[in-house]
Amino acid sequence: MALKSSLHACVRSVVYALLGVCLFPCCIVAQSIALLHKPYVESFVGKPKVSGNLLVGLRSGEAAGSFNPKAVGLYVTPKVGGRSACVDISSRDGRYYAQNTYGMPTASGNFAPFDADTKYSEQLSHYDLKDIAVTVRLVGDCNAPDEGEIIPAVVGTQSRPPASSLRNRSLLAFVNAEPDRLKVVLLRNGIEVSAAECKSDPTAVQIAFTSSCEFKENDGLAPGSYDLLIRVRERFAWRDSHFSVQLP
């Protein structure tokens, strides 16, 4: 009887182990952020138009690597949980553009990718992250006159998913202006708390945006509301533009 019990115990252990192997991947699949309106709206064109937007993207995550549209998402915090957001994705060369509205799941603190049923996976896999801008705005409608708060998108690559930690990640703004004409800073209560270093790629086709601006001191930035100031030097004066940003 003791031998039979031992055999039964061994069999149960093997079965449970196999079940764990089979079920575990299902358990670790991140909950996605669902489209509010299908189908997925996107375009890939041969002759792009020049963008009229100043701020084209704000994101954190990997600085470089092959772009993966299914690795774009957010850490769903209480600030965004249950709300709606408009998500814009633009390639630097202006050929690819997507704009879709999403409904956020309940706040969990975990990373959740945006549903991206793209028809252009092959074309997008040839883009580097530095050539893709993503903007997430907390609005109920992409055509809303109010720009809403901007949440930095979290972006992974084809080979590396987004990090599990909210901290120690680069923060980049993608701007449609030359870097030598730009000053890009984060303000809190009117006080500058972080300045970005802007650069461009002179070898790239620059239709949607020209500069990528990286905030170097983002490790010390506390969660909360910020004012993103983009100051552009024009012919005779500086022009200031302000954007409301919520850091997780």
Please give the model's pTM, rounded to 2 decimal places.
Answer: 0.83
pLDDT at residue number 3:
38
The C-alpha angle 151, 157, 158, rounded to 5 degrees, equals 145
Residue 122 main-chain phi, psi, to 5 deg: -65, -45
Picking from 23-32, 191-200, 221-230, which range would have the lowest pLDDT averaged per residue? 23-32
Distance (Å, whole) CA 193 – CA 195: 7
pLDDT of residue 50: 77
Q: In whole angstroms, what is the distance from residue 139 CA to residue 211 CA?
A: 26
Q: What is the pLDDT of residue 213?
A: 95
- Looking at the predicted structure, is the pLDDT value of residue 64 above 80? no
Q: How far apart are CA 169 and CA 175, in angstroms?
A: 19
* pLDDT, tens digit, 9 for 90 and up, residues 41-54: 999 998 887 778 89
Mean pLDDT for the stretch of residues 64-84: 89
| pLDDT tens sequence across 98-133 | 999 999 998 888 889 999 999 999 999 999 999 999
Average pLDDT, the chain: 83
